[in-house]
Structure 1
Amino acid sequence: MNSQNRDGDAVVVPAIRSGSALASIRSLGRRGVRVIAVHEREDVPPFRSKYCDETRIVPAPAEDLAGYRDALLALARRPDVRTIVPVREPDVYVLSKHREAFAEHVGTPWPSRETVRETQDRRRLFEIAASVGVSVPRTRPLDEVESWNGNRIIKSRYSTLIDDNRASYADVEFVDPNDPPDTEAVTSRMGHVPMIQEYIPGGEECGFFAIFDEGEPLATFQHRRIRSFTYSGGASAFRESIALGDLDAAGLALLAELDWHGPAMVEFKRDERDGELKLMEINPRFWGSLPLAICAGVDFPALYYRLAIGDPPEPVNEYDVGVGCHVLRGEASYLHSVARYDFEYVERPSLLGETAAVVRSCFEEPRFDYLSLDDPEPIVRDLWNTAGLVGERVSARTRRLAAGQPVGR
């Protein structure tokens, strides 16, 4: 693919801690594309990659969204910059909202603002899914709930909240059916009427990943989540590539209906009650488990770059099934959650059994998001940062104990 690159081509990658950023940097760098990594902090692990040619400190979108937009636009105006890679929700918000401004300078292989708005509004997204036969959990606005029977969760209606020039995310709240929430208080805290959704019990958590060119798929990929950062869920810590017919059909139907352009992750959970895949959400960006797709044979960042420079590649129709990939920090977080926490609706597994499973899978599937002998410095930085966070928490706990203050688990 190097033959397709122009000398001096550069791509901007937000250097977040998720594996998607580092995977994009490594993929592009190995193909001779210069990488400009941007972030609001200097100590992020992707800055330490040998494939990172430049680093830039930019305003934090959580604090100054307009400043972040202006910083990305300034980089886009450089003659060597060909595109920007979206790896988090504020990236997608800025890039889609100001797509025309960016299109004057760089390739824009990401969804339109209208499409992003539909996918980030859970109520509208579920209406679209139902219209093409994709199953969804029973979901309704909080202020329309008449009965509190059964396990439910409260979610923000919008996957990204924009307020006062800041981007933020609302937490998920579990509802005790014997202790219904104060609707007015929850609505006031979230700043809008959130959604109440049935809890989908058990079942596998699956992801359908794709990159589309104006409604046509260039490549697709699937994975099954084996472990998350906690045993109750969250970001994936260990996953493996799969190929399921119903997952493929649901993901393609939904993205085709949205006339998708660019990268997308469609998240599903299989309902153990009826065996159906239920849609959870769409992320209109690259996803945290991107390193797994690359390990299995689908190099999405390379495809994205080709699409951005107006040289779309041939569709990728095959990848290796049964490939596993770990986040070492995530595996440690998972075991920590098993050792220390109780979660609503989820039975805590055996610490001994889960420790053995983690160790065994690391030997059987020795692939990792950060750890790379070819590019070792990011994992060193990540471990250093993690150790610092643990040290801060231990110090804070010690100070509270010394002051006679209560300390939670």
Structure 2
Amino acid sequence: MPDQARYRVLLTESSSASAREVLTVLGRQGHRVDVMDSGGLSFTRYSRWVRRRHRAPAFAADPLAHLDALRHVLREHPYDVLLPTHEQLVAIARHRDEFAGLVPGLAVPRFAAVRRVQDKADAVRLLADLGLPQPDTLLVRGPGELVARAEQLPAYVKVPVATGSRGVWLAADEAALGRIADDPAVREVFAGGGEVLVQRRVTGPLVMVQALFRHGTLVGLHTALRRREGVQGSASAKESVVLPDVAKHLARLGAALDWHGPLSLDAVVDEGSGEVRYIDLNPRLVEPVNAELAGADLVRRWLAVSLGEQVGPIAEPRPGVRTHMLLMALVRHAELGRGRRHLLGELTRAVTQRGWYTHSHEELLPIGDDPGGALLVGVVAACLLVSPGLWRRLAGSGAPPHALTADGWRQLTRPVS
């Protein structure tokens, strides 16, 4: 795996935190990075590392139109590597052979494997088939069956295709189950003959797992604990950890799927048993800066796998590496209804490097080597200080532009004519 090679890289979207962090790693390594851009304010908006922005329809609104724009760009512009930074990987996998002919570097698994990961009901069955630990989970097919599952409470209810906190609800009592059963997204799943998950809540810290595979073989791994929660279930602070059982679990999972490319999982360390229990699978690489600072080398390895190069033994990340996302912490205060005093306190601790910010690195918007991020932090902070209730408009209530919606999933799973 050559250390000094510099590549022309295209990212499939520009708005997500994952795209921003992949951009940060690539920019620091000296690669030329362009992005597909659906407009609006995004985490990459003011970055000096973006060389060119190619306009594209929002993936969430129309994944097939987004793919058409991506095809056009790849035909008109020479790139060495295409990195799907969010659920565009799902769509590209549907047309894997075609896109492999458009760009030299692409690491995408077969669509049959992607289906088993992207659909949460299929993912539950996959983990069960492989004997990998997960919370007690039931799959239900109708509202009456859902409201009858009070023995699972407290539990998370999840529709088959959901992103982040959208399409996921915590039910604490039977009344909450009834309200969730009446939600339009849940009713739509049942009307289409689909299944909804009822997953017993496990108490313990959230673990964010990132992995990279080369034709079913695990070639990269990193795990981090979510030390502070951010807005809408995100992480505003992480700390790298080493959990030996995870590597064994991932090796089994990757081999069973013959996975090729990135894969991320969320898990909870059960505070009762100490066992890692997997709660979500994502066919992408999620927020890799903590992994990079800990020495996991995931982005460089992703480039190598995409280009068919050898990657060498798995790097052993260092535990105890702390990172933070100031922006996510600020919006989280507003989400919880905290006032200006809390927002100013958070900003003060960040500037003076006190509290969690002691010996911690900013991972989302690293102002030191990419100063444009300061403008985004400043705009968000100013808006929240004027009116903390603006967090709803800043965070958004619908699907983000880079996410795969249920309608988009139906488009991608229709038989090809």
Q: Which residue of 2 aligns with 1:138?
A: 136
Which deviates more from structure 2 when the two are superposed, residues 111-120 or residues 145-154?
Answer: 145-154
Deviation for aligned residue 1:95:
1.2
Which of 158, 162, 178 aligns to 1:159? It is: 162
Aligned partners of 1:23 and 1:291 also within 8 Å: yes
Aligned partners of 2:264 and 2:284 also within 8 Å: yes
Please list the CA deviations of residues 130-187 of structure 1 after superposition, one character each: whole Å capped at 9, or x if unmatched.
2222112222233344441331221102236xxxxxxx98421222424241686347
Over the matched positions of the two proteins, sequence identity in percent amounts to 23
Matched AA of 1:57: R
User: Within the alignment, does 1:148 sit opposite 2:150 as a pair?
Assistant: yes
2:258 counterpart SS class: coil
Matched AA of 1:383: G
Q: Which residue of 2 aligns with 1:402?
A: none
Please list the CA deviations of residues 202-252 of structure 1 after superposition, one character each: whole Å capped at 9, or x if unmatched.
21111221111101122111111111115xx71111011100122332233
> Judging changes above 3 Å, is the alpha-carbon distance between structure 1 residues 190 and 386 closer, same or farther for their aligned structure 2 residues?
farther
Q: Distance in 1 between matches of 2:286 and 2:321?
A: 17
> Judging changes above 3 Å, is the alpha-carbon distance between structure 1 residues 314 and 199 closer, same or farther for their aligned structure 2 residues?
same
Q: Distance in 2 between matches of 1:175 and 1:396?
A: 24
Q: Which residue of 2 aligns with 1:259?
A: 258
Q: Distance in 1 between matches of 2:200 and 2:238?
A: 22
Q: Which residue of 2 aligns with 1:407?
A: none
Which of 173, 182, 185 aligns to 1:185? It is: 182
Deviation for aligned residue 1:312:
3.0
Which deviates more from structure 2 when the two are superposed, residues 41-50 or residues 183-192?
Answer: 183-192
2:300 counterpart SS class: helix
Q: Which residue of 1 aligns with 2:65?
A: 67
Aligned residues: 373
Q: Which residue of 1 aligns with 2:229?
A: 228
Unmatched 5+ stretches in structure 1: 161-167, 342-351, 398-409
Q: Which residue of 2 aligns with 1:373?
A: 368
Q: Which residue of 1 aligns with 2:356?
A: 361
Q: CA RMSD in A?
A: 3.2
1:192 counterpart SS class: helix
Q: Which residue of 2 aligns with 1:283?
A: 282
> Judging changes above 3 Å, is the alpha-carbon distance between structure 1 residues 75 and 182 closer, same or farther for their aligned structure 2 residues?
same
> Judging changes above 3 Å, is the alpha-carbon distance between structure 1 residues 331 and 389 closer, same or farther for their aligned structure 2 residues?
closer
Q: Which residue of 1 aligns with 2:167?
A: 171
Aligned partners of 1:45 and 1:382 also within 8 Å: no
1:330 counterpart SS class: helix
Q: Which residue of 2 aligns with 1:292?
A: 290
1:158 counterpart SS class: strand
1:110 counterpart SS class: coil
Q: Distance in 1 between matches of 2:386 and 2:53?
A: 27
Q: Which residue of 1 aligns with 2:217?
A: 216
Q: Distance in 1 between matches of 2:199 and 2:15?
A: 32
Q: Which residue of 2 aligns with 1:406?
A: none
> Judging changes above 3 Å, is the alpha-carbon distance between structure 1 residues 147 and 316 closer, same or farther for their aligned structure 2 residues?
closer
Which deviates more from structure 2 when the two are superposed, residues 169-178 or residues 76-85?
Answer: 169-178
Deviation for aligned residue 1:339:
5.1
TM-score, length of structure 2 as denominator length: 0.79
Aligned partners of 1:137 and 1:197 also within 8 Å: no
Deviation for aligned residue 1:338:
4.9
Matched AA of 1:252: A
Q: Which residue of 1 aligns with 2:402?
A: none
Q: Distance in 2 between matches of 1:328 and 1:183?
A: 32
Aligned partners of 2:383 and 2:390 also within 8 Å: no
Q: Which residue of 2 aligns with 1:274?
A: 273
Q: Distance in 1 between matches of 2:4 and 2:324?
A: 32
TM-score, length of structure 1 as denominator length: 0.81
User: Within the alignment, does 1:16 sit opposite 2:12 as a pair?
Assistant: no
Q: Which residue of 2 aligns with 1:82?
A: 80
